[in-house]
Chains A and B, each alone.
Chain A
Amino acid sequence: GESVGLHLPTLSVQEGDNSIINCAYSNSASDYFIWYKQESGKGPQFIIDIRSNMDKRQGQRVTVLLNKTVKHLSLQIAATQPGDSAVYFCAENIGGGSYIPTFGRGTSLIVHP
């Protein structure tokens, strides 16, 4: 399940399950959204992005959903594997031509074999 508190939100799943990581963004003018994966000891790694003129985009085992009405973004990982264990950050680019993202606080995904 998911726990949210003073520490980094954590989602624990079993290997093979589907994972859903959620993100609420702050600015209704944001027009570009990115998901990053950060493994321990490494920098954030680009996973998938979506522009505001779309509501869904699929990659390999990952899907990003965008709901602009409620300013919500989600990352779905199919058949989660132990190698998916990491911290996941959503980021938004404020509209108006910005190329500088604002990062959300992150969610720690733990995959149990």
Chain B
Amino acid sequence: DTEVTQTPKHLVMGMTNKKSLKCEQHMGHRAMYWYKQKAKKPPELMFVYSYEKLSINESVPSRFSPECPNSSLLNLHLHALQPEDSALYLCASSQDVPDQPQHFGDGTRLSIL
């Protein structure tokens, strides 16, 4: 079982819907990440939070809006997504120091109709 929990596991939504992805970890990690992964590709970094503050936004469209309510929780709010946004969305956490591996959740499989 993964120590990073993501909900929901699957999500199907229309292009006009608003939904949120959730991620939770209780390892005391102070860095949390959102990645997008297409089939047969490596994870692509979207956002990084460090000590609950957004530190990196990899030029992600504004229809994706991250939020870090506290050190254990990370949300990704979705609005007006496009079919090409269909992918696996992975959350990860790590110690906010160099030379530490990331711990990944099992992702949310998102399908945009």
Q: Decide yes or no whether A42 CB sits under 8 A from chain B.
A: yes
CA–CA, A89 to B42, complex, Å?
7
A-B contact count (CB 8 A): 62
Query: By the criterion of a CB under 8 Å from any partner CB, how many residues of chain A are at the interface?
Result: 27
**Consensus secondary structure, chain B interface:** loop
Contact A46-B103, Cβ < 8 Å, known A89-B42, A99-B97, A103-B43: yes
Q: Chain B contacts of A49 at CB under 8 A?
A: 99, 101
CB–CB B43/A99 < 8 A: no
Task: Give B24-42 as 1s and 0s: 1 = Cβ < 8 Å from A's Cβ atoms.
Answer: 0000000101000000111
Q: Decide yes or no whether A113 CB sits under 8 A from chain B.
A: no
Query: By the criterion of a CB under 8 Å from any partner CB, how many residues of chain B are at the interface?
Result: 27
Q: Decide yes or no whether A58 CB sits under 8 A from chain B.
A: no
Contact A98-B42, Cβ < 8 Å, known A43-B2, A43-B90, A43-B106: no
CB–CB A104/B107 < 8 A: no
- List which B1-55 residues lie within 8 A (CB) of chain A: 2, 4, 31, 33, 40-43, 45, 48
Contact A99-B96, Cβ < 8 Å, known A43-B4, A43-B107, A44-B104: yes
| Shortest CB distance B56–A (Å) | 7
| Shortest CB distance B43–A (Å) | 6
CB–CB A43/B105 < 8 A: yes
Binding site for B on A (CB under 8 A): 7-8, 31-32, 34, 36, 41-46, 49, 51, 87, 89, 93, 97-101, 103-106, 108
